[in-house]
Amino acid sequence: MFTGIVTDMGEVSAVEPRAAGLVRLKIACRCDPETVAVGASIACSGVCLSVVDRGKDWFAVDAAAETLRLTTAGRWREGTRVNLERALKVGDELGGHIVAGHVDGLAALIARENLPDMAQLTLRVPAKLARFIAVKGSVALDGVALTVNEIAGETFSVLIIPHTLKVTTLGTLAVGEEVNLEVDLLARYLARLMERG
């Protein structure tokens, strides 16, 4: 589990196709390799991936065919920047909201208004996911915990504060680009319970 509070921005340094549609991604970062265990979970732009190898200032993860198809990970190339968050430990501050690292779909940026030191992003989501998004509710975009400001049909907007613009990939996100979207975990379970009566 994660909180959506990004702690580092990494950069893909190698993409290596493997057997059975698997791709190994090597990610450069500032983490101390002694604190990263093989098998540990790291959210990479919101996608929970397991560390399979590590070294000085880098770690490697394997992305399966479905992950590559359903998330932006399938488009990552050498030089792609990714938001990183280590898994939550019992006793850690829960500064964002509960994030599983299980991407629900992609959201496309359709408008960006750059304000003094901030930015308002308007995104379009698939219709099947729009019902899980509520004003003042939580979403994770590329692993960043955010609060929804407005909703109109299949679009919603979020306001990005200066710190978040500086320390995450949302600072350079351009209209037309897509991000990994995880809807609020509670909204997903509540909808499922209501469907079952």
Residue pLDDT, tens place only, 50-107:
999 999 999 999 999 999 999 999 999 999 999 999 998 887 777 778 899 999 999 9
Say what percent of the chain tops pLDDT 90.
80
159 class by beta-carbon count within 10 Å (0-12 exposed, 13-18 middle, 19+ buried):
middle
For 182, other C-beta atoms within 10 Å of its C-beta total 30
Which residue type sits at 190?
L
Interval 27-59: pLDDT, tens: 999 887 778 899 999 999 999 999 999 999 999
122 and 177 within one domain: yes
Give the CATH number of the domain where residue 169 resides.
2.40.30.20
My answer on whether 32 and 79 are in the same domain is: yes
SS3 content of the chain, % helix, strand, coil (to 5): 20, 45, 35
Same domain? For 68 and 130 the reply is: no
Domain of 119 in residue numbering reads as 105-195
Query: What is the end-to-end Cα distance of the chain in Å, rounded?
Result: 28
Residue 136 maps to a domain: yes
Domain boundary among 86, 114, 149: 86
Q: Are residues 60 and 130 in the same domain?
A: no
> Does the residue 94 lie in any domain?
no
Of the three residues 53, 86, 119, the one that is the final residue of a domain is: 86
**Residue 32 and residue 80 share a domain:** yes
Residue 174: closest CA among 118, 122, 104: 122
Q: Count structural domains, the chain.
A: 2
Give the H/E segment covering residue 113. strand 105-115
Same domain, 112 and 187: yes
Average pLDDT, the chain: 93
The model carries a pTM of: 0.93
